[in-house]
Chains A and B, each alone.
Chain A
Amino acid sequence: MSLRVLVGCKRVIDYAVKIRVRPDKLGVVTDGVKHSMNPFDEIAIEEAVRLKEKKIAKEVVAVSCGPTQAQETIRTALAMGADRGIHVEIPAKEMEKLEPLHVSKILAKLAEQEQAELVIVGKQAIDDDSNATAQMTAALLDWPQATFASKLEKTDGELEVTREVDGGLETIKVKLPAVVSSDLRLNEPRYATLPNIMKAKKKKIAKMKPSDLGVNLASHLEVIEVVDPPTREAGIKVEDVDTLVTKLKDSGRI
């Protein structure tokens, strides 16, 4: 049994970059800032490629929604071992208003078109931390979902997935086709080696627009304000527990 796996990978601001709020307070500065693939999506790609190496998957298709630069993200996925890519072109201006629901609709449509039996995405993107795309995609497809996966095994026609939940670990079985979202400890992504980056040049990236998939990008959400978290203040030392309790009460903490 050989699956086609669809993997979503998002181009986000690199995790090491110091984020700056835009002067208009409606977003963060992205111009000239280093971007890379969402780390959880790297884990998703890695898992898909490992499935192919275990001969469980026959093809890994990497999808990214975004402006031209999203192709760099797809190229990274191809260099890690994905077979081909799909770039859903969304101009930079519209990217700001892109919501998990839009992406889910796109992924669902592509999963049907490509006849994928497994969709893997990162559990959340490190820019918006929505943690919604996997779940919505599953709902739109009416497929089972296994989110926060830290271990993935294939049994006959099913997946056995260990999930990281608040209380610990939960192991579930889901029937294929299914949607999985990858958590941190699922695997350690490989480096895109230089020879593989060169080989990835020959792999195909198909281009399409959301309208080609019948997806409308009308907004349902409006960003009111983006502000920095409050700057961390210095702590103070107190002599005894009573003073501590008084100070906590005074500042409204308890």
Chain B
Amino acid sequence: MTFSRMVRQAYSLPAWRQLCFKPMYPGVRQQQTAATLGDVAGMQVSPLTVLSPEEEMMKDAVAKFASEQIAPLVSKMDGEGHIDEKVLKGMFENGFMGVEVGEEYGGCGSTFFISNLVIEELAKVDASISVTCDIQNTLINTLLINLGTQDQKNKYLPKLATEYTGSFCLSEVESGSDAFAMKTTAKRDGNNYIINGSKMWISSAPLSGIFLVMANAEPSAGYKGITCFLVDAGTPGLSIGKKEDKLGLRASSTCVVHFDNVVVPEENILGKFGHGYKYAIGMLNEGRIGIGAQMVGLAQGCLDATIPYLLQRKQFGRTIFDFQAMQHAVANLATEIEAARLLVYNAARLKEAGQPFIKQGAMAKLYSSEVATRVTSKCIELMGGVGFTKDYPIEKFYRDCKIGTIYEGTSHIQLNTIAKIIGQEYSS
């Protein structure tokens, strides 16, 4: 079989053409051709890390805002445990919170890949800001865009793109990885549902204007009763409980949210009754690519903060970067980050091309979160004593990275997912 035939079978040509051949700007198509490796059976092939001019522009815009408006406040936000108001406002004004939301709703009308670039660039500066942006784009907005009725979209998308965060409520005290064991119920009452229960680990809860709540509306059907409800902030019975005192991501508020006879009209069901479990899994498959992007950005930001110090600090008459052991350490870390980045970028491109991506998304999240822990831990050592102090940003990267292997599907869950798909691949 010719290589071209193999490639064409691997990638549905129409989808790939759509991705590569759609001119971003007039005249840019020529530039993309120059940047690519050339034609493979009529298909344009490009290195994963070569971005289109539009993607570069978006990435640079985020990097600029992050280094000028966020970086000076990172320590303060970490110390005080909340996002600075000006920073949050700036994120909405600059469109970071509605990347894929359509222009008609006040969003950017941009792509999933670019959301990941935004998340990655923000994480280089502050992982808490990055996760706030990630949840909004890859979980909240995506659920509404894909499942919302026109009324629901009209009501919530403009606000999510320009005004407030949304919170995704799935986990509970007794159900984390075992998500379907949730105890929050939604009891039918005429044209309404009454929600009772408590959700845990809810990011941005004090800030959010809307809560996407997974509750079981038909416990007798087991997990097939789980339904997704849209609950406005301020609905009587909805209260924000204890804020967690966390090791890292301290600027992102993580709280318990209580639902005490919260009345929700049936129009506020998102998608279909009893399909909530599907939506949760589906969204998390995409959301974890975003977490992959966050972890890659975090690891890169950490290494970027370390290397200048190594090139400047002198011991035994030379810079510590001069020592081979240090060079080898840095080379290893840089290689791991590059590999993690390629996994994330490819998973994102696969999803955009309409190709199967669940296995690759799980691999991306698994690997990049583990790389982040290795990189941050090693960077503290490379910095020596000062790496252990709050005077340098390294210790924050170290604290922030740890949740990466835990949230949005623990590493064990990712491994299960990957193995399951491999099993299917070899069985059919």
Contacts and interface: CB of A to CB of B under 8 A. Distances in A.
Contacts of A201: 24-25, 54
Interface in A195-216: 195-199, 201, 205, 207
Interface stretch (B102-110, B148-156, B350-358, B405-413): B102-110
A36 interface: yes
Interface stretch (A71-79, A107-115, A137-145): A71-79
A197 B96 CA distance: 12
A76 B53 CA distance: 11
Given A68-B31, A72-B53, A194 B118 contact: yes
Contacts of A197: 54, 57-58, 61, 108
A192 interface: yes
Interface residues of A, number: 19
Contacts of B60: 36
Given A76-B57, A79-B57, A201-B54, A194 B108 contact: yes
A86 to B, nearest CB: 14
B54 A194 contact: no
Given A192-B61, A193-B94, A198 B103 contact: yes
Contacts of B31: 68
Interface string B59-102: 01110110000000000000000000000001001111011000
A121 B57 CA distance: 22
Contact of A72 (B57, B98, B99, B103): B57
Contact of A198 (B26, B64, B94, B109): B109
Given A36-B60, A72-B57, A201-B54, A195 B25 contact: no
Contacts of B61: 79, 191-194, 197
A196 B96 CA distance: 12
B99 A194 contact: yes
B385 interface: no
A79 B30 CA distance: 22
A201 B52 CA distance: 13
B27 interface: yes
B102 to A, nearest CB: 11
A198 B108 contact: yes
Of B25, B26, B64, the most chain A CB neighbours within 10 A belong to B25
Contacts of B28: 71
Contacts of B114: 194
Contact of A71 (B27, B64, B96, B118): B27
A220 to B, nearest CB: 31
Contact of A191 (B57, B65, B103, B110): B65
Contact-size category for B: 20 to 34
Contacts of B27: 68, 71, 205, 207
Contacts of B103: 195, 198-199
Of B24, B57, B109, the most chain A CB neighbours within 10 A belong to B57
Given A36-B60, A72-B53, A76-B57, A195 B26 contact: no
Contacts of B107: 195
Which label, helix, strand, loop or mixed, suits the secondary structure of the B interface?
helix
Contacts of B108: 194-195, 197-198
Interface string A168-199: 00000000000000000000000111111111
Nearest to B67: A16
Of A72, A194, A198, the most chain B CB neighbours within 10 A belong to A194
A198 B110 contact: yes
Interface in A53-96: 68, 71-72, 75-76, 79
Contact of B57 (A75, A195, A199, A205): A75
Contacts of B96: 194
Contacts of B110: 194, 198
Contact of A193 (B54, B56, B93): B93
Contacts of B26: 205
A71 B30 CA distance: 13
Of A195, A197, A205, the most chain B CB neighbours within 10 A belong to A195
A101 B358 CA distance: 58
B163 to A, nearest CB: 14
Contacts of A195: 95, 98, 103, 106-109
A196 B54 CA distance: 12
Nearest to A202: B25
A205 B62 CA distance: 24
A191 B94 contact: yes
A107 B41 CA distance: 45
Of A75, A76, A199, A201, the most chain B CB neighbours within 10 A belong to A201
A79 B105 CA distance: 19
B32 to A, nearest CB: 12
Nearest to A75: B57
A193 B109 CA distance: 13
A142 to B, nearest CB: 35
A13 B90 CA distance: 27
A205 B64 CA distance: 24
A191 B25 contact: no
Contacts of A79: 57, 61
- Give me the 7 closest cross-chain CB pairs, A-B, nearest first: A194-B95, A195-B95, A193-B94, A194-B108, A195-B108, A193-B95, A198-B108
Interface of A: 36, 68, 71-72, 75-76, 79, 191-199, 201, 205, 207
10 contacts: A71-B25, A75-B57, A191-B65, A194-B62, A194-B95, A195-B109, A197-B108, A198-B108, A205-B26, A207-B27
Interface of B: 24-28, 30-31, 53-54, 56-58, 60-62, 64-65, 90, 93-96, 98-99, 103, 106-110, 114, 118
Given A191-B61, A195-B95, 18 more contacts: A68-B27, A75-B25, A75-B53, A76-B57, A79-B61, A192-B57, A192-B61, A194-B58, A194-B99, A194-B118, A195-B98, A197-B54, A197-B57, A197-B58, A201-B24, A201-B25, A205-B26, A205-B27
